[in-house]
């Protein structure tokens, strides 16, 4: 085994941080990202942007709501039910933490 | 097992953690680009466009024929297009904003129809009412010809304003506000005496671009 190969072999693997399981899921991450950029959004707008089914979006939005990461406001728009989602401070902090963890992971795995 | 679960779990490393992290950041960036505002509208580029429009207005004011007046403004439109295009590309690159996807694409698509209508109208005037000898002549009498030419400043300002307003829906608030003021200037130009056309062009394409360019540059990163 050459020196270079040996050096590569003994380099410690980068440790993967403990991600917030609520954020660390593609659909929920998409919802948080969309709300972070677009402010308050309706259920229909989120569904269109993220290309999700009603059921899929409902399930994941509920998990975010239960975690306190998004606030939900239900109303009627000329007899049509309307649901608005907005990122809470807690959700914004969770997304920021997740982004920091991702950045740190990229830094750790970047070749010296 | 859920297929959309990111592949960063310790016990299931489908891809290298670094690559997966890159993919996640790219996904977040793309999602934000689809929902956020297009922020690559160039402030300083707008100022440069305004300055060149001011110079063009000064040159156009001295022209004695409609043909040469049109040539000056056509050249200025091309200069403005190059400045605006380059400045937008530069700002988008500096801020890592996607230009041809998400909100950037919607912004460009919102701006394009009104600009194309402006080009078509200008070509109609230039092609049919300015003869091969570069003399301006009327197809149906001098009154019609003069009227159609004198409408151009107002029509250009209105169309540019309409394009900027509709594109500005996908951008920061200053952009649609600037578009509305362009339309207002265009409407006033149509109501004012024809001789004031160049002055309205200077106020709109020069003044408004400079004022809003400075505001956008100060508030939205250049």
Digit-coded pLDDT (tens) for A48-107? 888 899 999 999 999 999 999 999 999 987 888 889 999 999 999 999 999 999 888 888
Asked if B10 reaches chain A (Cβ–Cβ under 8 Å), the answer is yes
Q: How far apart are CA B196 and CA B69, in angstroms?
A: 14
B59 pLDDT more than 70 = yes
pLDDT band of B127, cuts 50, 70, 90? low
- Selected residues 8-67 of chain A with any CB under 8 Å from a CB in chain B: 14, 16, 19, 24-27, 29-30, 33-38, 41, 45, 49-50
Tokens of B153: 């400043």
Q: How far apart are CA B161 and CA B166, in angstroms?
A: 9
Contact yes or no for A33/B31 (Cβ under 8 A): yes
Asked if B22 reaches chain A (Cβ–Cβ under 8 Å), the answer is yes
- Selected residues 71-100 of chain A with any CB under 8 Å from a CB in chain B: 99
Closest partner CB to B32 (pick from A33, A106, A109): A33
Contact A102 B16 (CB under 8 A): no
The structure tokens 């689809």 sit at B34
> For chain B, give me the number of helices (H) and strands (E)?
8, 0
Q: How far apart are CA A24 and CA A16, in angstroms?
A: 13
Residues of B in contact with A38 (CB under 8 A): 35-36
Return the pLDDT at B184: 97
Nearest CA to B42 among B87, B96, B109? B87
- Looking at per-residue pLDDT, the higher value among A97 and A17 belongs to A97
pTM of the model: 0.64
Asked if B33 reaches chain A (Cβ–Cβ under 8 Å), the answer is yes
Write phi, then psi, for B130 (nearest 5 degrees).
-115, 115
Q: How far does B205 lie from chain A, in Å, by closest CA?
A: 31
Establish whether this prediction's ipTM goes over 0.90: no
B57 pLDDT more than 60 = yes
Contact A37 B33 (CB under 8 A): yes
Residues of A in contact with B28 (CB under 8 A): 29, 33, 99
Residues paired with residue A84 on neighbouring β-strands, in sequence order? A42, A73
Contact A37 B27 (CB under 8 A): no
A-B C-beta contacts closer than 8 Å: 70
A6 pLDDT more than 50 = no
Residues of A in contact with B33 (CB under 8 A): 37
Residue of B nearest to A38 (CA): B36
Return the pLDDT at A5: 52
Tokens of B69: 């007046």
Q: How far apart are CA A2 and CA A16, in angstroms?
A: 29
């Amino acid at each position: 085994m050459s020196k270079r190969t040996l050096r590569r072999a003994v380099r410690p693997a980068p440790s993967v941080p403990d991600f917030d399981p609520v954020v660390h899921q593609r659909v929920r991450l998409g919802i948080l990202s969309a709300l972070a950029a677009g402010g308050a959004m309706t259920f229909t707008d989120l569904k269109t942007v993220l290309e999700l089914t009603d059921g899929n979006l409902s399930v994941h939005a509920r998990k975010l709501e239960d975690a306190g990461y998004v606030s939900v406001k239900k109303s009627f728009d000329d007899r049509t039910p309307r649901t608005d989602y907005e990122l809470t401070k807690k959700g914004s902090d969770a997304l920021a933490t997740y982004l920091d963890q991702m950045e740190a992971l990229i830094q750790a795995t970047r070749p010296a | 097992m859920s297929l959309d679960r990111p592949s960063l779990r310790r016990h299931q490393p489908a891809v290298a953690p670094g690559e997966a992290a890159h993919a996640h950041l790219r996904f977040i960036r793309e999602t934000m680009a689809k929902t956020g505002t297009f922020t690559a509208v160039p402030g300083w580029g707008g100022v440069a466009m305004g300055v060149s429009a001011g110079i063009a207005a000064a040159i156009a004011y001295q022209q004695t024929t409609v043909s040469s007046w049109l040539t000056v403004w056509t050249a200025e439109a091309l200069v403005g297009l190059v400045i605006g295009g380059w400045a937008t590309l530069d700002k988008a690159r500096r801020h890592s904003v996607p230009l041809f996807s998400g909100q950037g694409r919607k912004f460009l698509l919102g701006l394009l129809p009104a600009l194309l209508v402006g080009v078509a109208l200008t070509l109609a005037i230039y092609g049919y009412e300015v003869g091969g000898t570069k003399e301006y002549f009327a197809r149906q009498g001098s009154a019609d010809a003069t009227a159609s030419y004198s409408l151009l400043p107002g029509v250009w300002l209105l169309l540019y304003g309409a394009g900027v307003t509709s594109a500005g829906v996908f951008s920061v608030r200053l952009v649609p506000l600037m578009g509305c003021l362009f339309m207002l200037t265009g409407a006033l130009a149509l109501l004012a005496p024809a001789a004031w056309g160049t002055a309205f062009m200077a106020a709109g394409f020069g003044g408004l671009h400079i004022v809003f360019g400075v505001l956008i540059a100060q508030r939205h990163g250049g």
